[in-house]
Structure 1
């Protein structure tokens, strides 16, 4: 076994008695790390990572008045971050800061939940693919197995067919729990990535109420602000100690660069996460920017931008549908996030992974448009995912998709 990503030609310098391959845990050596389109393409119109293409919502006057260089950067940051938590609690209508945990992006929270809840090599998590890839990556890093209950895909995702729709099969989740009592965490992504699927609160509640499941349900709501106001599972927290809802400032707030994730739950779980985190996990610049983003006027700006992106999402779906004659199938999923997933079809009107990959590469390498290939995900054969960009970015992307599809 070798180290993935390291060329065998890289020389080893050091004592002859040391072999790093015998020191690193086998599950880490076997790990295939999370990869994204940005690993390969960093330039052009970037519609691959579901960022907020309209930018952050902090007003210019706030940014000018509050420079991060005026902060006490020589001091360690506040370990408690009470001010940020107060504003999060007010925004999300939870009782107080004892219901709020802050992490370095949602990824830190995912990893921390596994470390505090799941015994390595003994217990498991449950995921519902196609879903966010970091659940599986974190599981392998922590030597935790992942039980898979795929989302149910209904409809035909090919040319001329009905758009495919995804839903959580609650009965299958219950069956998996019955078959394996070592499952400690259930990860539900709502709206889903890459599907855009919004999970009904009734389905989440049914899993929370299932007596045979003794663990915690994790609802990942990274894209919740792009869905309807009543869609969030935060409303269930007051009645369920076994629920944690994850959110982030990366998407709707347009602050992917500051890396701030949020966990909302009843105080017992929040306290456990607080007891376990690194002492100064949220940096001073991050908390400073977050406080500006969580001011009432910035929140109003954020919501205005969301409304614009939601309208652009509908236009993008309609524009993609106009390319049906070139092999673009109906958008699949729930379309409740800031992206659209659509299949590229080939001979016989069926989704075609090879053609989708060629389109993905030619868009990025010759046309300056970076989207995301998702054809390897269950139920997403032949699919690309495109982030809703600015109106100009969307127009350019559609034009380039049309040009490339006309020749492949």
Structure 2
């Protein structure tokens, strides 16, 4: 069954054992996507979408609120009374150029990566628990949440050692359960900060017994070394979907823009299934600005500073070892560090109960908020600490030392 909206391609499929039409749910393949007004016409006297022709209702000035309105001027100049562009081809093209893929047809935009995760499950995995996804804990919690919401089963293959993917164990899980449709890999991992090698990912993409899609979540990829992104494999592998975001390296978490990069058939399926106007005009406006050459250069400079700060923070946190803070675990390839809090008796064992007390004391009594991760597989006693500004890092180090002395 052809994918609606997708032009036929003469390009040979790779890997040969993968057929996207056998992965996507039949009712999704036959879906005629909702056609919104702006799919047809974008200019002219627009009387087709029941919009307010008089424009938005935010006035240019309010008594006593001039400062607020001044901050809104650029946004107020947008056509907020019109529904947004449903395709955002210009943003997709900028992302395609930035990530070195052929064109906008390789890019999908979602309301954060969470919408992409949810859509992938909805289009690929039949609800009821018979069909499943595979995750590699400890990992991003939304994979399991979305699976539960969609009534989808979860097979878990825990990471090992310094949180590396056990490819052989993943293959065994696939052999044991042919109903696995999606594999979710987080690289660099959250909360582990560990980068997954392209060799490991290719081993799963090439595995003939897995007919589903490998999804690689690269929310933190800009903090890792160059030439480590799985996007470099997208043109070759039809069974690969890479997720990225503007929340982390671009510092735009508030605008909720997630990205999927994959071959056109899967991108078209996601496009056919998404809500009509999922990306708002203000979000698109800010994203477009963030993807200009000047802004991308600024992003990379800030990422470089954060990577240097990460190394400095690791070094300084090591000085708290006598107070029971263990060495960082994981790969340290993201903008955070995973540190185990140890027992106070000097045994060197991670102590989740103490870590939780440290976490609460930092937040409630010292104004320093880190993330407790002691309940995750392989993360006993761990706190996840985001790399902040130099001033924030210094305060966090000082307060951490004070709290560890008394708890």
Q: Same fold (TM over 0.5)?
A: yes
1:113 match: 120
2-side partners of 1:232 and 1:349: how far apart? 36
Q: 1:98 aligns with which of 105, 122, 137?
A: 105
1:259 match: 256
The answer to whether 1:83 aligns with 2:90 is: yes
2:276 match: 279
2:131 match: 123
| Partner-residue secondary structure (3-state), 1:366 | helix
The answer to whether 1:201 aligns with 2:198 is: yes
- Give how far 1:65 is off: 11
1:376 match: 375
2-side partners of 1:91 and 1:270: how far apart? 18
The answer to whether 1:232 aligns with 2:203 is: no
| Partner-residue secondary structure (3-state), 1:303 | helix
1:355 match: 354
Map 1:59-208 to 2 at 5 A. 67-121=74-128, 122-153=130-161, 165-208=162-205
- Give how far 1:108 is off: 0.1
Q: Which runs of 5+ in 2 are unaligned?
A: 1-69
1:338 match: 335
Structure 1 residue ranges, 4+ long, deviating more than 4 angstroms after superposition: 63-66
1:300 match: 297
Deviations 1:13-70 (A, max 9, x none): xxxxxxxxxxxxxxxxxxxxxxxxxxxxxxxxxxxxxxxxxxxxxxxxxx98981110
1:394 match: 393
- Give how far 1:194 is off: 0.1
1:159 match: none
Distance change in 2, residues 1:66/1:184 (3 Å):
farther
1-side partners of 2:315 and 2:279: how far apart? 41
| Partner-residue secondary structure (3-state), 1:404 | helix
The answer to whether 1:321 aligns with 2:311 is: no
| Partner-residue secondary structure (3-state), 2:115 | helix
2:20 match: none
Deviations 1:371-396 (A, max 9, x none): 00000001100000000000000000
Q: 1:243 aligns with which of 230, 234, 240?
A: 240
Distance change in 2, residues 1:215/1:284 (3 Å):
same
2-side partners of 1:66 and 1:266: how far apart? 39
| Partner-residue secondary structure (3-state), 1:231 | coil
Deviations 1:203-261 (A, max 9, x none): 00000000000000000000000001111000001110000000000000000000000
| Partner-residue secondary structure (3-state), 2:406 | coil
2:44 match: none
| Partner-residue secondary structure (3-state), 1:178 | helix
1-side partners of 2:384 and 2:76: how far apart? 38
- Give how far 1:88 is off: 0.5
2-side partners of 1:367 and 1:129: how far apart? 31
1:312 match: 309
1-side partners of 2:342 and 2:257: how far apart? 38
Deviations 1:84-120 (A, max 9, x none): 1111111001100110000000000000000000000
State the structure with bigger RCO (CA 8 A, min sep 6), 1 or 2: 1
| Partner-residue secondary structure (3-state), 2:215 | strand
| Partner-residue secondary structure (3-state), 1:188 | strand
Q: RMSD in angstroms over aligned alpha carbons?
A: 1.1
1-side partners of 2:199 and 2:281: how far apart? 39
Deviations 1:296-315 (A, max 9, x none): 00000000000000000001
Q: Decide which structure has the larger Cα Rg and report it.
A: 2
- Give how far 1:364 is off: 0.4
Distance change in 2, residues 1:183/1:402 (3 Å):
same
1-side partners of 2:284 and 2:275: how far apart? 16
Distance change in 2, residues 1:271/1:368 (3 Å):
same
- Give how far 1:196 is off: 0.2
